[in-house]
Chain A
Amino acid sequence: MTVLLPGSLDEALQAMASHPTALPVAGGTDLLVHWPQRPELHRQTFVDLSAVQELRPLRWTTDELVLGGLTTYWDVIEDGRVREEFPLLVEAARQIGSIQIQARGTWAGNIINGSPAADGVAALMAYDGVVVLDSTRGRSEIPLAEFYSGYKQMRRAPDELVTQIRLPRREYSVQIFEKVGSRRAQAIAKVGVTVTRSASGWRVVAHSVAPFVCRCTALERCLESEASVGSPDDLLPAIREDVSPIDDLRSSAAYRERVMARVLYYGLLEVCPSFH
């Protein structure tokens, strides 16, 4: 196995450019799962990002929160200001694995691992997060809502590193993150729903119900139009337009659809006058 150990962002981008098949390593909480039983990975070339100091800190500008390419869940949980302005990031982070996972796992790793059940991605997407990808060829900035195109399919070239995740600072009147799993602690979501409302409109994000985390534009239109909703079933047509729920080892499509409708309905009943 080969590992490259860059000490700066420039070195890391060079390493990615000169090793087209190399995999970057951040917290390792996806890459190292069952490591001894994955010999194919032991023949890989890796680029260790852990010593690239520039990537770690999160920072604030007048109109954005900018997470670094190595910012961890614990970094966010510990930041009082994030708790105030982006509470769903903290809520999602606290429900990811355990403290051992939160201390190591990164938001960028969650994005690039590309799991349909990624809790971090759902919260970032509901805040209109933008992924910043850098390479020696230049920079691209892609809204997270347009980043995925299929199961583990995304708009990232092999030499690109996520160096920032940018979130616009806004006033939110509704912020809901709901994750339904087999149990409360340390469980991957079977159904996840995240909702925000700001002057830029409603955002509804579903995770664990489709091949990738996605925005639900039919549901957003339904909320925007203030159409009357009298039961969870009234939401099913929009849900079916937005996602074709998946059958997998964690759950069935029929269960997912129903749970999503109920979670949305009861979550919004308190905050939406059009729900009764």
Chain B
Amino acid sequence: MTHYRYSIKILPGATVCEDCTLEGDITIGGGTVIHPRVTIIAEGGPIIIAEYCIIEEYSTIIHKKNEQPENPPKPLFIGAHNVFEVGCRLESLCGHIGESNVFECKSFVGTDVKIGSGCVIGAACSLTTPQTLPDNTVIWGSEHNNREALEKQPSQLLQLDFLGKVMPNYHRLRKSNVHKRQMSRQSQEPAKS
């Protein structure tokens, strides 16, 4: 387990609380805020979180192990401006999560769900069957109603700004350990593939 610790890359500008469980090969992009008590486990392959995401308390992101492991393992790439609200859970085998998605409180996204950009998974909604959510899909309510929004969800830049200022006053933070030059190369690589 100890060797995992070294494979956690935090880029400058990211706010990552110390009180969270990060296991495996994880890259956290600049401007992203990770609240305390967050669990991110990269057991099936690396997880790359792009810039300006908010990951709130008790959310869990797991890159699950595939039954036929590939070599080298494919990464799980989470795009920019995603919001993971309190207690949500995202399980994925590998792949690509678009940008500007909102995973509302206590929502669950299973392994075979492909998510585009600008989607909203409503509070307590759970997606378990294999499916692909086209861009701007909104799912809400106990009936899992869905609709298509006209535009992407507005970005949370103000909130990110605020959190970046406030969090260091109340929580121990992990230090960034990657330089800027490396960051730009790494965050662009998965976007191309």
A and B physically associate: no
